[in-house]
Structures are given as structure tokens and as C-alpha cells.
Amino acid sequence: MSLKTKDQIETTTGRTEIPDPEMVKKELIAKYPTKVARKRSKQIMPNTTDECGNPTVMGANVRTVPGIITQRGCCYAGCKGVIMGPTRDIVNLVHGPIGCSFYAWLTRRNQTRPPTDQDDNYMTYCFSTDMQDNDIVFGGEKKLKAAIQEAYDNFKPKAISIFSTCPVGLIGDDVHAVAREMKEKLGINVFGFSCEGYKGVSQSAGHHIANNGIFTHVVGENDTIMDADYKINLLGEYNIGGDAFEIDRILGLCGISLVSTFSGNSSYDQFANCHTADLNAVMCHRSINYVADMLEIRYGIPWIKINFIGAQATAKSLRKIAQYFDEPELIERVEAVIAAELPEIERVKEEVKQRCEGKLAMMFVGGSRAHSYQGIFKEIGMRTISAGYEFAHRDDYEGRRVIDDIKVDADSRNIQELEITRDETRYNPRKTEAEMAELAEKGVAFKEYNGMMADMDPNALVIDDISQYETEKLIEIYKPDLYCAGIKEKYAVQKSGIPMKQLHSYDSGGPYAGFKGAINFYKEIDRMVNSKVWGYIQAPWQGSPELSAKYGWE
């Protein structure tokens, strides 16, 4: 990619000619060994639909091709790093050699604000059994027990959770037995997660294991019912860069109370008490849909999919929640809040739109944001021409209606599915069947998620588990104006002269959720795609490398 001058940027604005996605796909896989090409061709799909309007079948949640340079992480990262990491008052003890705990130490930007300075907050700490070769040879259970005791002696936490790493499963340490024994001994909740890195094919397995663990060991431990009118759980919101704080602010203005957030700025008690809420609002479908389903089956709490990224999506989500509770006072309040927040958003949006309209974006992010950010780009006139997830499943691409068709393959078969039944004493359907049907009629879709593909252009290209090679090819072919992904992709993309936005860490920015977040995001994208730096790549002498015979001072 040669440098982009300001003129060239302007000529790309508003372009409509997009390369044929089928041709792009061919080019992306042409270089691979035959077997690899065959495999990848199932995970790279133009966003076409069949005659019934159903999207193409996406190859997803399958094993990674060795050597292809994937961006994926592991089961441990999904369990400890993503779901349990953001909880502030549980000591998260990693059982393994030092690396796993070191790399998950403060590297995701889950912000935390305990109510007072006296409240527990272990976010800044990293706990590990730091297994040595002796522990591998003779087993690490003894050391794990001692480490739990030492953690208790030093910190006196409310609860301790244990995370297994690769070697733990191989050498046969029984972390659950150790947890039971120490729970008995210390009188606090101690529970383990078998989230060895090799389980499943990605972070996704870790989400499932975390969902199961937290549901089994903590949810339902505290039956206190919060004194509030509209009580919800916010599921799958990890407070990156303060997203959950902004959502809290808006919900607070609307008079909606949060019983729990899974798991940005969360606490043990929130998990223990979350079964007392009246509605689950699911932000990140991939990571937390298991808890949403289990809470519904066991306790009768319905769930809806919401999205707080983008002003329109935020307004829509608030209205959906209000509609669920169906109280005129709440509906009115929500409308008032939206009306109060919108003028400032409109002002910034219109200004930014002038400079961003027509630009092309690409997004390859974990299991949720590649979809949830498409609307906010539309708000400033940008098009998402290619997108994909690292580790989402077919339902995140094609919608939940395909769930029954999904075959669990050999690599993921050992991830436990909990058999959840109704809690005979505490099951309490929040709405009658008639009320649910009536709400559905009005457009409140329960337990529904239509997936990313339904919201994308027909000529967009969808790519699952994108490789470094495919990233480079895509950039070469489409010359996008913005590429969104993570830290591992960032600098290679940037060196190609393309602005690169991290949608995991937000490049230390944020919040991007909610109304204030939308404003932050518009401004940030404007800054990135219109920065002067992209005009300096060519040195003045590189345009005319021949030495001029004439000197400047002549």
C-alpha cells in the first residue's frame, strides 16, 4: 500500500465499487496447501442468502489450522481472563507455571470501582502457584492447597477460585477435590475451573466452563431481594474502558436497577444474588448465553438480546427493556432520557460524518464486537465491508435459529453441558405465558439473536478465525480506510499505512458503550481515519530520488 495523501483519502470517500467477494475468497486461499485451502474455504463466505433469506452456513468453532498464524487464544483465557478476571473481590488463583497468570495480569481493561476504599479489590493482583518441575513430576495438589491457605492468611478473601492450566489436566491434579477440602477447612467458598488451555478450540470453551462454574458454585447463594422497581442483570458486559459505568449511568437515569453485571466491576455477592432479577439483558451473546439460558430454566428469568454500542442501538435497547416491564412511568422516563442525551450526540455525529462518510471498515474481533460495532459505524456513514470473529459459533453468525443444526465436533465434545432443571422452591416465571406472548407480539423478542450476517451488506465477506496471511491479503485487495481487531494485528496493519483501531482494548480509550461512549467513539474514529500522520510516510526526497543539479540556495 502506498501512502495516502489527503487527496487520495478524499477520492476514496463515497466509493461504491467493491471487489467481488467470491473472487476475493479465491485469492485468499490460493496460496495455502490444498488441505488447508479446503478447510479455510468453509470459514470464508460472501454474505449471500438462500431463497428463504437464510444466510450461508459459516464454518465456525472448529479447530485452528496449525501454523496458520491465528489470532485465537485458549480456554484458560476465556475462563479466567474474560469471565472471572473482572470480578474484584474473589482471589483468582491460577494453578500452573507462571506465564498464564502473568499474561492475564491487568492486560484486559476491565475497570473496577469498589463502593469504598475499604472494599475488597484484587484486580491489581496476580496469584499463581508458579508450578515447578517438581510439581509436574510429583503432582501439584499439595502446593495448591498450601497456596490457598497462604492466600487466605494474607488476604482473608470472601472466596477463592482456582483456574487449571495446560499441565494440570495432564498430570491429573484434582483441583475440585482440593477446592472442596479447602472450602470445608476455611469456611469460605472455594471453587475450581477445569479450563486447561487445550480444551475446545479457542477462548469459547473457557466461557462455557466459566458459565457452568459460576452457576454451580455461586449463583443462588444469596436470596436477598433488592428493593427496586425494575431489576435486571446485565450479562456479558466486562466494563472495558468503563463501558459498564456508562451503561450504569444511563440505566440509573431511567430508574432501572442492576442486580448484577456479568462481570465488569462485579462482586461475589452480585453473582450470588443474580437469580433475584426480573430480566436478563444480554450484551455479549457468545460468552454468557449459557448463564442466560440456565437462569431462565432454573429461576424463570427471561432474557433479551440488547446492544449498547451506538446511539441508536442504545436507545433501542432501553426501549426494549422498558417495554418488557410495560410500565408507562418507565417508558416515559426512558424516552425522556433518550431525548435529553440525543442532541449532543447528533451534533458530534453530524460533524464527524462529514469527514467519515463512505469510508470502509473491517472488523475481526473476538465473538461479539465484530457485529455490535457495525451500527455505530453506520451512524457516521461508514460501511463494514468485511467482518468476522475469532471464536464465535454459527449462531453468532447466522442467528440462534440454527442452534439445533449445530454439530458439536470431537474437539469440543468434552466441554460439559450442565443439565439444568427448575428450582422447585425458587422458580418464579417473571411473566405469564400470555404476557410473554403479548410482548412477543409487540416485538420484544425473547431468547433471540439474529446473528451478524443478517445485518451485513450482501457483498460483504465474512471470515471466521482469520489468519495473518488473510489479513494482509484483505488489506491489499480492499484498501480499507480502517481495520479493527486486536493488539497482535495492530502494528502490522498500521505499518501498511492503514489506521488500526483495537476493539478489544480500545487503544486505552473508552468508554464506547452508551450515549457518552458513542460520542467518544465518533471522535476517536474521526481522529484515526483523518490523522495527518498518514500523509508523512513518503519523505520529500522519495518522490524524486534523482539528485537535482540545482541547489536550493542557487
Partner 1 sequence: MLLRHTNKEIKPRESLTVNPAKTCQPIGAMYASLGIHNCLPHSHGSQGCCAYHRSALTRHFREPVMAATSSFTEGSSVFGGQSNLIQAIDTIFTTYEPDVIAVHTTCLSETIGDDVNQIAIKAVKDGKVPKGKYVIHTSTPSYVGSHVTGFSNMTKAMATAFSKSTGVSNGKFNIIPGYVEPSDMTEIKRVVKEMGIKPILFPDTSNVLNGPQTGKYKMYPDGGVTIEELTSAGDSIGTIALGNTASADAARALDTRCKVPCQVLDLPIGLAATDRFINTLRTVAGVNVPASIDLERGQLLDIITDMQAYLYHKKVALAGDPDQLIPLVEFLISIDMMPVHIVTGTPGKDFVKRIEALTADLPYKVNVKAGGGADMYLLHQWIKNEPVDLLISNTYGKYIARDEDIPFMRYGFPIVDRVGHSYFPSVCYKGGMRLLEKILDLLLDRIDRDSLEETFELVM
Query: Per CB under 8 A, which of residues 153..182 are in contact with partner 1?
Result: 153-155, 165-167, 169-171
Distance CA 179, CA 189 (A): 9
Using CA atoms, how far residue 390 sits from 70, 271, 462, 465, 485, in Å, is: 8, 27, 12, 4, 10
Distance CA 251, CA 237 (A): 14
Distance CA 517, CA 15 (A): 28
* Count of CB atoms situated within 10 Å of the CB of 364: 25
* Count of CB atoms situated within 10 Å of the CB of 228: 14
The verdict on 3 binding partner 1 (CB under 8 A) reads yes
Closer to partner 1 at the Cβ: 151 or 259? Answer: 151
Give me the least distance between CB of 268 and partner 1, in Å please: 15
Asked if residues 521 and 540 have their Cβ atoms less than 8 Å apart, the reply is no
Closer to partner 1 at the Cβ: 92 or 386? Answer: 92
Question: What would the x/- binding string for partner 1 be over residues 181 to 200, using CB under 8 A?
Answer: ---------------xxxxx
Among 20, 22, 150, 448, binds partner 1 (CB under 8 A): 150
The verdict on 105 binding partner 1 (CB under 8 A) reads yes
Asked if residues 164 and 84 have their Cβ atoms less than 8 Å apart, the reply is no
Give me the least distance between CB of 62 and partner 1, in Å please: 10
List all residues 6 or more positions away from 65 whose beta carbon is below 8 Å from its beta carbon: 36, 39, 40, 467
Distance CA 302, CA 278 (A): 8
- Closest by CA to 463, choosing from 454, 455, 471, is 471
Closer to partner 1 at the Cβ: 69 or 340? Answer: 69
Question: What would the x/- binding string for partner 1 be over residues 258 to 297, using CB under 8 A?
Answer: ----------------------------------------
Return the residues of window 481-540 that contact partner 1 according to CB under 8 A. Answer: 486-488, 490-497, 537-538
The residue count of the chain comes to 554
The verdict on 82 binding partner 1 (CB under 8 A) reads no
From the list 133-141, 268-276, 308-316, 370-378, the region that binds partner 1 by CB under 8 A is: 133-141
The verdict on 32 binding partner 1 (CB under 8 A) reads yes
The verdict on 410 binding partner 1 (CB under 8 A) reads yes
Which positions are annotated as active-site residues? 74, 77, 108, 207
Distance CA 410, CA 177 (A): 27
The verdict on 33 binding partner 1 (CB under 8 A) reads yes
Question: What would the x/- binding string for partner 1 be over residues 43 to 72, using CB under 8 A?
Answer: --------------------xxxxxxxxxx
The single residue listed with the C-alpha cell 474481533 is 365
Number of residues that bind partner 1 (CB under 8 A): 92
